[in-house]
């Protein structure tokens, strides 16, 4: 039971984290600084719990707001870049955050920080469900329609009167806040945080969650995060020594045969049409 709860817990955290990166990707931005935002949320929540001794709810909210504010401020210089330069800029941000934490005695440095207040797995489940519903609502609204338009062609969107920069700032800010939310939940569930966990590899992994799952619909991060979290655990049942090789081969095949991600708008539309026809009969 403890093992299953552990899988559910990390799946919920990964889902929230993936949706944070998805929002920026859905508006045409590739954010490789997810680990930095998650670290901000985790350490802000940890400091609030340790030093200020506030309730979990308040420390988690502080983590969300703190990461969101940094995302808002960072969006203005970052959005001046495009393509690989944006990827490098956000990646550099994650490295800066990690470096500051490692060199800060107040934050525990390389030894990490204990977080006394514990959040059970039920809290993670409800939080993940809430975030999933929120993002699905956003993507089904006029905001989501504008974000998809910007993702497809930002120049045409601007000609059509869409405030491209405004929507991108919104997506970057909310994405940073959600990543911070996942970090705050991680801190309170595992009761310990260290800078090494929020590494560059983590930022790459969460971006893969989104790209492999698909950036065209809100189903993408749900499928991508589940795939990356559950498949390695299922492969444990087989040959443990080769599970990472098998998993790597699966990712390569996914990228070859589903370059736009596992879930695309066409696939969702096709499934919806088939379902409607079956109900009609």
pLDDT digits (tens, 9 = 90+) for 135-152: 999 999 999 999 989 888
Q: Is residue 113 within a helix (H) or strand (E), and if so which, with residue range?
A: strand 113-114
Half-sphere exposure of 257 (CA within 13 A, CB side): 7
Give tens-digit pLDDT for 9-35: 999 999 999 999 999 998 888 889 999
Give the model's pLDDT for residue 168.
Answer: 93
Predicted local confidence at residue 280, as pLDDT = 60
- Per-residue pLDDT at 57: 94
pLDDT at position 259, please? 76
Average pLDDT over residues 79-104: 89
Summarize the confidence of residues 71-85 as an average pLDDT. 89
Query: What is the arithmetic mean of pLDDT over 180-191?
Result: 95
Backbone angles phi, psi at 74, to 5 degrees: -75, -25
Which has the higher per-residue pLDDT, 95 or 274? 95
- Residue 70: predicted pLDDT: 96
Q: Which residues of 162-191 are buried (b: 16+ CB within 10 A; e: fewer)?
A: bebeebbbbbbbbbbbbbbbbbbbbbbbbb
28 neighbors 153 (Cβ within 8 angstroms):
no
Least confident of 99-113, 139-153, 253-267: 253-267
Summarised one tens digit per residue, pLDDT across range 33-54 is: 999 999 999 999 999 998 888 9
| Secondary structure letter of residue 115 according to DSSP | -
Fold designation for 2-199: ABC transporter involved in vitamin B12 uptake, BtuC (1.10.3470)
- Estimate to the nearest angstrom the gap between the alpha carbon of 148 and the chain centroid: 18
| pLDDT value at residue 128 | 96
The two tokens of residue 21 are 């990166």
DSSP state of 209: H
* C-beta separation of 21 from 175 below 8 A: yes
CA distance 124 to 186: 9
Higher local confidence (pLDDT), 6 or 246: 6
Using 50, 70 and 90 to split pLDDT, how confident is the model at 184? Answer: very high
Question: What average pLDDT does this structure show over 157-163?
Answer: 88
What is the pLDDT of the chain when averaged over all its residues?
Answer: 88
What tokens were used for 281?
A: 């009969």
- Measured between alpha carbons, how far apart are the two ends of the chain, in Å? 43
Q: What is the DSSP string of 53-99?
A: ---HHHHHHHHHHHHHHHHHHHHHHHTT--THHHHHHHHHHHHHHHH
- For the packed helices 34-47 and 56-78, what is the interaxial angle rounded to 10 degrees? 150
Model pTM above 0.75: yes
Residue 259 DSSP symbol: T
């Amino acid at each position: 039971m403890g093992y299953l709860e552990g899988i559910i817990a990390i799946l919920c955290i990964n889902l929230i984290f993936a949706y944070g990166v998805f929002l920026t990707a859905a508006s045409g931005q590739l954010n490789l600084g997810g680990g930095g935002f998650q670290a901000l949320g985790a350490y802000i929540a940890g400091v609030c719990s340790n030093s200020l001794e506030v309730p979990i709810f308040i420390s988690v909210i502080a983590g969300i707001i703190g990461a969101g504010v940094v995302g808002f401020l960072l969006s203005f210089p970052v959005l001046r870049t495009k393509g690989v330069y944006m990827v490098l800029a956000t990646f550099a941000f994650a490295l800066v955050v990690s470096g500051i934490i490692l060199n800060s005695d107040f934050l525990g440095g390389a030894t990490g920080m204990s977080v006394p207040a514990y959040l059970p797995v039920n809290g993670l489940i409800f939080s993940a469900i809430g975030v999933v519903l929120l993002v699905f609502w956003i993507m089904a609204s006029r905001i989501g329609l504008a974000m998809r338009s910007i993702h497809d062609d930002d120049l045409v969107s601007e000609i059509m009167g869409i405030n491209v920069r405004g929507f991108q700032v919104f997506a970057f800010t909310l994405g940073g806040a959600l990543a911070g939310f996942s970090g705050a939940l991680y801190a309170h569930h595992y009761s310990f945080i260290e800078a090494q966990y929020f590494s560059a590899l983590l930022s790459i992994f969460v971006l893969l969650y989104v790209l492999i799952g698909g950036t065209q619909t809100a189903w993408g991060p749900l499928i991508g995060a589940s795939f990356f979290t559950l498949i390695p655990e299922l492969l444990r049942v087989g040959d443990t020594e080769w599970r990472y090789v098998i998993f790597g081969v699966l990712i390569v095949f996914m990228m070859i045969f589903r370059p736009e991600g596992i879930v695309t708008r066409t696939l969702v539309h096709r499934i919806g049409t088939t379902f409607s026809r079956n109900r009609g009969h």
